Chains A and B, each alone.
Chain A
Amino acid sequence: MLNASLKELSTELSQRKISSVELTKLFLARIDALNGKLNAFITIDAEKTLAQARTADARIAKGAAQALTGIPVAHKDIFVARDWLTTCGSKILSNFIGPYDAHLIERFNGAGAVLLGKTNMDEFAMGSSSESSFYGPVKNPWDPDRVPGGSSGGSAAAVAARMAPAATGTDTGGSIRQPAALSGVCGLKPTYGLVSRYGMIAFASSLDQAGPFAKSAEDLALLLNVIAGFDPRDSTSIEREPEDYTRELDKPLSGLRVGVPKEHFGEGLAADVGKAVEAALAHLEKLGAKRVPIELPNSSLSVPAYYVIAPAEASSNLSRFDGARYGYRAKDYKDLADMYRRTRAEGFGAEVRRRILIGTYVLSHGYYDAYYLKAQKVRRLIANDFAEAFKRCDIVVGPTSPTVAFKIGAKTSDPVQMYLNDIYTIPANLAGLPAASIPCGFGAGGLPVGLHLVGNYFAEAKLLNVAHQYQKSTDWHRREPEGLKS
């Protein structure tokens, strides 16, 4: 049951072979057994969770079930959920009980899914290793001495270790796809604006996008069906007709033009990762796809531009954490300014402080044109590169991350090395394009490698089609970490 797909779980539930309460208890027991080792969850509240499972069972009994009714789903602790502690991985929100539900949480509640728990993450989603959490680092289920990737590392680890059948995350520069790759699961960042940001604690508003983690592309499609859609409470939410993201899953890939960007196969790409990705490309060709060499010439500028835009937006978004209205407040202070300084010095971790400082500097008087405006122009160049590429291909395919999972502590003392983990994922955020990572093999040390798929705007169904066809004829996505076999 721990290994079942969402479709299988849904069938079991609707045929009354298992109740939602029983299913939820199985996952809670699994979490209980493994969380001490992996630290994937910040908050578990069995009582609240099981109450929701009982409600789901009543709904199933009435014959009013939807696809995900009764299925437990873990949520990144960046989504505000009513009556749940919502920390964003930070000390500054360590006492913050959600006073309302995020749009994404509302959608899952409406679908009758069960909130299984809140997952651990890099503080304020700033990181690529899930080590900067106030609640301690998340461990990679494939090797607990290694990071699971980040920032949504808790969600990725939870799915990889079968502690949750599915989970949610957010992706500002790769925070869904990179942990999916390093933890050997599937993750999808939808087109910017497809999933409402309402109640998702803001990091960089022009880049942040929520998305699902699961064991297969088919499961991702079912999850996206629940969370996508217009919400007037997010000013950048896009108004468009709802889609069924499962509709193209079974289309054959014959004639598909797969764009392979040479810039993502050059210096910096580890040989083991390159080998697994090459094998996956060959497999797509075997399925009828055509390989098209493409260029993303400004790709190398994406990390520099991102580290202006994201911190600039973060410095503005995080100004709300001042100790006045909610969250942590410093104990001793002499006046209001001192209360702010101490609260923010004590409440934010080193990486968050660092990014606020970068953002404050690039937006400060006299530097705006040289940094922020320049970065926005570079952002346009990167988006234009993709626009050119999509004239010649249907999907862009490459590695998600330059290496397999690295050792805990290996990059914490060198922020620049940490930032370069996201070199292949950041361009899709800057352009606003949908992108996914799916397992495509193993590298050194038996650690998972992720295949990165980038689609054109709103081409999620196509992305999931390619991923599903790949998964129908391979079994990388079914592999489980040795030693944690469910």
Chain B
Amino acid sequence: MPLTPEEVRRIAELARIGISDAETRTIQGELNNIFELIGRMQKVDTEGIAPMTHAQGLALRLRPDKVTESDQRELFLSLAPQKEAGLYLVPKVIE
């Protein structure tokens, strides 16, 4: 079923990507073409087929409870767009 402009705006909001009204139309058309391609898989019968989440049947590994990371606060903070007093700075969220 084709996506409506409202749905496109809703998805963009969920994804936290700003889109203009003009872009909404273009994106709607592109996404609908892609979903038409994706829709081709609906015709195959997958009744009783176990979903394949992964190429290898791996179980999560456990590791010893030991410290493996060193403190690299300064290095990582040096990459921040804005920082203050050793913290990442973002717009205020609580008044």
Contacts and interface: CB of A to CB of B under 8 A. Distances in A.
A311 B38 CA distance: 12
A79 B82 CA distance: 25
A377 B48 CA distance: 9
Given A329-B82, A336-B91, A415-B33, A431 B16 contact: no
A361 B27 CA distance: 13
Contacts of A357: 8, 11-12, 15, 17, 27, 31
Interface size class of A (residues with CB under 8 A): 35 or more
Interface string B7-51: 110011011111100000001001101111111111010100111
Nearest to B46: A377
A380 interface: yes
B58 A236 contact: yes
Interface in A347-397: 348, 353-354, 356-358, 360-361, 364, 370-371, 373-381, 383
A6 B46 CA distance: 47
B93 interface: yes
B86 interface: no
Contacts of A342: 18
A62 interface: no
Contacts, number: 165
A308 B18 CA distance: 22
B18 A345 contact: yes
A431 B55 contact: yes
A207 B36 CA distance: 23
A374 to B, nearest CB: 6
Contact of B34 (A192, A353, A358, A373): A358
A232 B64 CA distance: 12
B35 to A, nearest CB: 8
A41 B94 CA distance: 44
B49 to A, nearest CB: 4
22 contacts: A99-B72, A99-B75, A193-B55, A206-B55, A207-B55, A300-B40, A307-B38, A327-B79, A338-B91, A341-B17, A341-B18, A344-B17, A357-B31, A364-B14, A377-B46, A377-B49, A377-B51, A379-B51, A380-B49, A415-B33, A415-B34, A431-B55
Shortest 5 CB-CB contacts between residues of A and residues of B? A432-B55, A376-B51, A341-B18, A377-B46, A329-B81
Given A304-B39, A304-B41, 8 more contacts: A238-B58, A354-B30, A361-B11, A371-B38, A380-B51, A383-B55, A430-B55, A432-B55
Interface of A: 96-97, 99, 192-193, 206-207, 232, 235-236, 238, 298, 300-301, 303-305, 307-308, 315, 319, 322-329, 333-342, 344-345, 348, 353-354, 356-358, 360-361, 364, 370-371, 373-381, 383, 414-416, 419, 430-432
